[in-house]
């Protein structure tokens, strides 16, 4: 394989630049010409490609975001989108593609592979909502960012003896809430996988008050189905305790990637080059049982994850 391209798509995640660096440098080390595509699938259709050299990816390893820019694909998923993209790549002599993104980007990658174009997929999303891999690139950084926010919020929450609801990202997956809740010592964690009744929440706050606990942190994932403002009002009305909400929002997307995310991104990027070199047609790369691995892209897209309830139980015990 002489000429490859890569793109970042969908929501950005910390570690995308580390993956870009690995793809470019490992690709060149294998004698490939490597092209970056701007703005994800949009750029793929528009032919917005740029040749990249080793020095183009210097000093980006520690940066959040993506130097290639990213975008939600508008036209690519429409009929003929994949064919158009393959035609564009054909005219440039591109023989393989590396796609970095989340579940939407993964579906895009599938359409290209279905149409016969080799694609390697790297799991880049803070949400950790790709079932085929234990961890996605950006997740560890996002959890640490939430922890940093929790520690700041704890100062003022404790000084005012109030309940604070921290709303974190996670529409489909509650992993950010769950990991940050366990690592941050949250009393209660609300996620899409586990939506306790409101009565559970305020009763737990009341129980804490009766034990002399003067402040509590509650982590609420976007996708928990319980609106933070409703939760806030409900807790105040049932416990008489001042309650405030902080929505971390896009804060969670940025920041310098953690060591773990940089290393995961670097290994995944290197693996993508190795697989393209070996003539693989369509793979998803990730981490399973502590090891970097690759599997068939379509099988990966079909995976579903069983939530691990033992974490919720442990949080229960620890916050009793």
Near a second copy in 259-298, by CB under 8 A = 259-260, 262-263, 266-267, 270, 287-291
The structure tokens 């366990």 sit at 182
In the complex with a second copy, the residue whose CB is nearer, 197 or 317, is: 317
Binding a second copy (rule: CB under 8 A), the pick from 45, 130, 143, 188 is 143
Is 127 one of the catalytic residues?
Answer: yes
Number of other CB atoms surrounding residue 310 within 10 Å:
8
Number of other CB atoms surrounding residue 160 within 10 Å:
13
In the complex with a second copy, the residue whose CB is nearer, 117 or 216, is: 216
Binding a second copy (rule: CB under 8 A), the pick from 45, 153, 188, 294 is 153
Q: What is the DSSP secondary-structure string of 129-178? A: --TTSS--BTHHHHHHHHHHHHHHHHHHHHHTT-EEEEEE--SS--HHHH
Query: Which residue(s) pair with 245 in the sheet?
Result: 165
Least distance in angstroms from the C-beta of 318 to a second copy: 5
By CB under 8 A, the residues from 238 to 257 that bind a second copy are 244-247, 249-251, 253-256
Q: What is the largest CA-CA distance in the chain?
A: 71
Instruction: Given the residues 12, 103, 127, 261, select the one marked as catalytic.
Output: 127
Least distance in angstroms from the C-beta of 202 to a second copy: 21
Q: H helices within the chain, ranges in order? A: 16-29, 40-46, 81-92, 103-114, 139-159, 175-184, 198-210, 228-239, 259-277, 297-302, 309-318
Binding a second copy (rule: CB under 8 A), the pick from 111, 164, 191, 216 is 164
By CB under 8 A, the residues from 96 to 125 that bind a second copy are none
Number of other CB atoms surrounding residue 291 within 10 Å:
9
CA gap 38, 96 in Å, rounded: 16
Contact between 65 and a second copy (CB under 8 A)? yes
By CB under 8 A, the residues from 1 to 20 that bind a second copy are 8, 11-12, 14, 16, 18
CA gap 303, 305 in Å, rounded: 7
Least distance in angstroms from the C-beta of 174 to a second copy: 15
Binding a second copy (rule: CB under 8 A), the pick from 152, 200, 225, 230 is 152
Binding a second copy (rule: CB under 8 A), the pick from 95, 140, 193, 222 is 140
Q: Where in the sequence numbering do the catalytic residues fall?
A: 127
């Amino acid at each position: 394989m002489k000429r490859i391209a890569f793109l970042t798509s969908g929501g950005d995640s910390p570690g995308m630049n580390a993956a870009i660096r690995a793809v470019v440098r490992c690709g060149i080390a294998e004698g490939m010409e490597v092209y970056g595509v701007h703005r994800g699938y949009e750029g793929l259709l528009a032919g917005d490609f740029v040749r990249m050299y080793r020095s183009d990816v210097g000093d980006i390893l520690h940066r959040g975001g993506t130097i290639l820019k990213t975008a939600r694909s508008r036209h690519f998923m429409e009929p003929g989108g994949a064919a158009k993209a393959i035609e564009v790549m054909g005219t440039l002599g591109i023989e393989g593609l590396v796609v970095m993104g989340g579940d939407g980007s993964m579906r895009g990658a599938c359409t290209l592979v279905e149409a016969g174009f080799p694609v390697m997929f790297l799991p880049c999303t803070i949400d950790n909502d790709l079932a085929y891999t234990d961890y996605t690139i950006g997740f560890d950084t996002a959890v640490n960012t939430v922890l940093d926010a929790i520690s700041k919020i704890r100062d003022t929450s404790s000084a005012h003896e109030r309940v604070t609801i921290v709303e974190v990202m996670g529409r489909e997956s509650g992993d950010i809430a769950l990991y940050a809740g366990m690592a941050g010592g949250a009393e209660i964690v609300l996620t899409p996988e586990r939506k306790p009744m409101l009565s559970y929440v305020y009763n737990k706050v009341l129980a804490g008050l009766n034990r002399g606990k003067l402040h509590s942190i509650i982590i609420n994932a976007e996708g928990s189905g319980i609106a933070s403002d409703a939760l806030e009002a409900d807790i105040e009305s049932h416990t008489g305790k001042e309650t405030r909400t902080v929505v971390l929002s896009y804060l969670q997307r940025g920041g310098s990637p953690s060591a773990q995310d940089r290393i995961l991104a670097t290994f995944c990027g290197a693996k993508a080059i190795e697989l393209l070199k070996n003539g693989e047609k369509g793979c998803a790369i990730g981490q399973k049982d502590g090891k970097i691995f690759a599997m068939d892209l379509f099988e990966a897209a079909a995976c579903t994850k069983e939530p691990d309830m033992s974490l919720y139980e442990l949080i229960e015990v620890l916050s009793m």
